[in-house]
Amino acid sequence: MSKAPIVIWRFLDGKPGHENQSAGLVQALQERVSIEVHELPAAGRLASIRYWASGRFPPGEGLPAPDLILGAGHATHLPMLAARRARGGRVVVMMKPSLPLRCFELCLVPRHDAPPASTHVLVTEGVLNRMRPAAERESDLGLILVGGPSKHHGWDEAGLLAAIGELLAREPRRHWRLTTSRRTPPSFLPALAPLVKQSSERLEVLPAEQTGPDWLPQQLSRSAVAWVTADSVSMVYEALTAGAAVGILPVPEKHPGRVSRGLRQLVDERRVVDFAAWQQGAGYPPAQPFNEAQRCAQWIMERWLNAS
């Protein structure tokens, strides 16, 4: 008789970046073992406390008991703990939690968050994602991924446009596709228009509003090169996982912190090239295996699932 599938309860907080992390781990597990996934919206704080206190978890009624409970984002922590109290299972949280580490069986914490040494922590290189390299890559295709102002970074539109212009000038045989994000200021695309006109057929612009959820994974898996603004850290790790050569476009940094620390580590280790070094002649880093979702899934398999 075949083994019953591993039952996973995947908690969602409505934030695409967080949900992409758990989706990447689920996908990696699915490649190794038969799984049955149930997605549950993260209940609010007060409701989760009530569920925990009562030892019942109404959102999961009628579902098979979970083997694994997964979630990313602080809003998922209390619902996952309430679900475990009611139905059992092991809780895997994909970030440095705001609650004590001992509350969770496993915390997948990026190195740039400076996680403490603990048996409950598996240190990751950046955040997990669902990217996969394509079997064939287009050597003349490049991506430019533009973010916007954030808690850690400001915005220098003129400087960014100058950097993009230099990319186009120094790599004239490459076809470029550029996309924005929801944080990109509305002034950027009008300011980019003269460069698009000047570059004729070599620069294709697709605003974020015109791309579907599968557009970026498809483009990253096919592109030889991806340049990402320094504020878009999750996209940097997605590009690395997809197997592209990655460059970092400069944007002003408000203050040093974990984001800049993580990027600096990648630059120092020659996993990515920053724009200033590229201007001075540094080449693109060689392709390196990089798939943290696969590594974490393998850890879970070896430590828990095979044994059970």
Contact predicate 94/203, CB 8 Å: no
CA–CA distance from 242 to each of 137, 218, 232, 287 (Å)? 10, 9, 16, 10
CA–CA distance from 276 to each of 228, 239, 273, 281 (Å)? 14, 20, 8, 9
pLDDT, tens digit (0-9, with 9 covering 90-100), for 240-266:
999 999 999 999 998 777 777 888 889
Is residue 106 assigned to a domain?
A: yes
Sign of the CA dihedral with 77 first, then 78, 83, and 86 last:
positive
Contacting residues for 245 by C-beta, under 8 A, at least 6 apart: 224, 225, 226, 273, 284, 285, 287
Is residue 209 assigned to a domain?
A: yes
Percent share of the chain, pLDDT over 70 = 99
Beta-strand pair 245-249/223-229:
parallel
What average pLDDT does this structure show over 282-304? 90
pLDDT, tens digit (0-9, with 9 covering 90-100), for 51-94:
999 999 999 999 999 999 999 999 999 999 999 999 999 999 99
Read off the DSSP letter of residue 78: H
Q: Token pair for residue 91? A: 């809780």
When pLDDT is cut at 50, 70 and 90, the band that residue 308 belongs to is: very low
Is residue 132 assigned to a domain?
A: no
Q: How many domains is the chain partitioned into structurally? A: 2
Q: Where in the sequence is the domain holding 99, given as residue range(s)?
A: 6-125+292-305
Contact predicate 155/229, CB 8 Å: no
Q: Which amino acid is at 231?
A: D
pLDDT, tens digit (0-9, with 9 covering 90-100), for 13-41:
998 889 999 999 999 999 999 999 999 99
Q: Mean pLDDT for the chain?
A: 92
Is residue 130 assigned to a domain?
A: no
Note whether 88 and 159 are same-domain residues: no
Is residue 151 assigned to a domain?
A: yes
What pLDDT does residue 11 have?
Answer: 98
Question: What CATH number is attached to the domain comprising 232?
Answer: 3.40.50.2000
Measured in whole angstroms, the distance separating CA 139 from the mean position of its chain's CA atoms is 24
Note whether 205 and 83 are same-domain residues: no
Note whether 185 and 90 are same-domain residues: no
What pLDDT does residue 307 have?
Answer: 47
Is residue 285 assigned to a domain?
A: no
* pTM given for the model: 0.85
Note whether 146 and 266 are same-domain residues: yes
* CA 189 – CA 206 distance, rounded (Å): 10
Note whether 170 and 115 are same-domain residues: no
What pLDDT does residue 270 have?
Answer: 93
Note whether 99 and 223 are same-domain residues: no
Is residue 191 assigned to a domain?
A: yes
Q: Is the pLDDT of residue 4 over 90?
A: no
